Amino acid sequence: MYDKRVSSLINIIEQKDLDGVIITSRDNTMYLSSFSGTDSILVFTRKKAYFATDFRYIETASSLSAYGYEVVLIEEGVKSIVALLSKLFTSKGLRIGYENTVPYGYFETLKQGLKDCVYYDISDQMLAIRSVKDETELSFMSKAAAIADIAFNHILKTVKIGMSEIEVAAELEYVMKKNGASFPAFDTIAVSGKKTSMPHGVPDSKKLMNHDTVTLDFGANYKGYCSDMTRTFFIGSPSAEMIKIYNIVYKAQKEAQDYVKEGVSGFNADKVARDIIEIEGYGNYFGHSTGHGVGLLIHEEPRLSVKSKAVLKSNMTVTVEPGIYIPDLGGVRIENTVVVEKGGCYPLNHSNKEMIII
C-alpha cells in the first residue's frame, strides 16, 4: 500500500527532474508512511527514503523501516534537519521539491543551509495523488461515515425541545467517539431556528424550540480519515416556505449526486445543483460550492464549484452539499460524501435524506 504511494511520489521526482523532495506536512507524512505524530519530516532522494523525528516518536517510527525508510533522530529541531539534508544533498544547484505549507522561517532556514539549490513547489501534485483513494482509504472513510450515521440516528431519537445547540453537538461527538471515532473530523455544526441561515453557524446555548429547523453538519475521524455529512430536520411542523426550500435542496442534492461519475467536470456537477436552485428563484441564497474532496483533510481536491477545472476520476471522494440560506428565516443543507465510479457514484453515509419532522 505505502509502496504504491511512495512510487507515485518517485514519479513526481522523475517527471520534474528533481534531485529530491522534502515532505513536512502532517497529512502527507501520514499518507506516505502511516505515521500520525507531529514533528517529523520525510526526505526522498532518487535512491533512498528517510524518516526523521525526535525522541518522543523514535520508537514508534522504528517500525517504518519495514516500508523502506531509514529512521533518523532529530535532536535540535530544524538545525538537525538542515544537517541531515546537507549530508544528503551535497552538490550545488540541486532541484528540490517542497510543499507550500512549510512555515516561512523553517523554509528560510532550509534555504540558508542548502545554498544554491532550486526549489519547486509540488503541493498540487501531492494533492492530485491523494485525490484518488485506494482500498484501504475507502475502508477507513466508510467506517468514519458509518460512525456518523450511528450518531445521527441516535440524535433523532434523543433530541427534544429545550436541549441547547451545544448539548446536541456534544451528544453527536460523544456517540461518535463511543463508536470508534478518534475525534470529530471538524468543529461540529448544530444550529437551529433562524441560525440555520448561516452555513457555518456556531452552536451556542440557544434552546431548541417547537417549529425549529435544525441543521447538523458533522463527521468522524477514523484512523486519520474524515467523514462529512449534513442533515436538516424539523422539530414540529415547518412553515410552507421551509417545506418548499427543503424540497428544492433535496432535488438539487439528488440530481447532482446522480450526475457525479468518472469523467464529468467539477464545474458541471456544481451546475446541476445550482441550476435547479436558480430556476426556483433562490440562486442568490446558495453562495458556496456544491462540494469538495474529503480524505485525510476535511477539505481536499477536487472541488465541485463554478471555478473548478477538475475532471472526476474513479475512487475520488467528494461531497455533494447544495443549500439555501435565507436571513431571518432559516436554511437547509443536505450533504452526502460519495465515491466516484465509472458509471456513477455511491454514498458512504446512508442516513435518511427525506424530510424528517419530529
Task: Give the contacts of 296 (CB within 8 A, at least 6 positions apart).
Answer: 27, 30, 31, 130, 224, 225, 226
Q: Kindly state the average pLDDT of the residues 290-295.
A: 98
CB-based contacts of 254, cutoff 8 Å, min separation 6: 353
Q: What is the mean pLDDT of residues 41-56?
A: 87
What φ, ψ does residue 124 adopt, rounded to 5°? Answer: -65, -40
- 13-17, 72-76, 130-134, 212-216: least confident range: 72-76
The pLDDT of residue 76 is above 90: no
Domain ranges of the chain: 2-131, 135-347
C-alpha cell at 64: 517504518
pLDDT for res 215: 98
Look at residue 181 in the predicted model and tell me its pLDDT.
Answer: 98
CATH for 135-347 is: 3.90.230.10
Element (H, E) at 222: strand 220-222
Cα–Cα distance, 165 to 230 (Å, whole number): 15
**DSSP bridge partners of 234:** 213, 357
270-292 residues labelled b (16+ CB within 10 A) or e (exposed):
bbbbbebbeebebeebbeebbbb
Q: Torsion angle, CA of 137/16/66/141, rounded to 10 degrees?
A: -10
Between the two ends of the chain, the Cα-to-Cα distance in Å is: 45
Helix (H) or strand (E) holding 217: strand 212-218
Separation of alpha carbons 50 and 207, rounded Å? 53
Q: How is residue 38 annotated by DSSP?
A: S
Q: Based on the number of CB atoms within 10 Å of its own CB, is 152 exposed (0-12), middle (13-18) or buried (19 or more)? A: buried
Residue 280 and residue 245 in contact, taking contact as beta carbons nearer than 8 Å: no
β-bridge partners, 272: none
**10 Å Cβ neighbour count for 91?**
8
State the CATH class of domain 2-131: alpha beta
Distances (CA, A) of 99 to 5, 22, 28: 17, 8, 9
Please give the share of the chain, as a percent, with pLDDT higher than 90: 74
pLDDT in tens, 302-345: 999 999 999 999 999 999 999 999 999 999 999 999 999 999 99
- Grid cell 441547547 in the structure block, residue: 164
pLDDT, the chain, mean: 93
Q: In this structure, what C-alpha cell is assigned to residue 229?
A: 455529512
pLDDT of residue 324: 98
Please report the pLDDT score of residue 1 as a whole number. Answer: 65
Is 0.95 surpassed by the pTM of this model? no
DSSP state letters, 283-312: GGG--S-SEEE-SSSSSEEEEESTT---B-
Q: Where are the beta strands (DSSP E) in 95-188?
A: 95-98, 118-121, 183-184
What tens digit of pLDDT does each residue of 164-215 get? 999 999 999 999 999 999 999 999 999 999 999 999 999 999 999 999 999 9
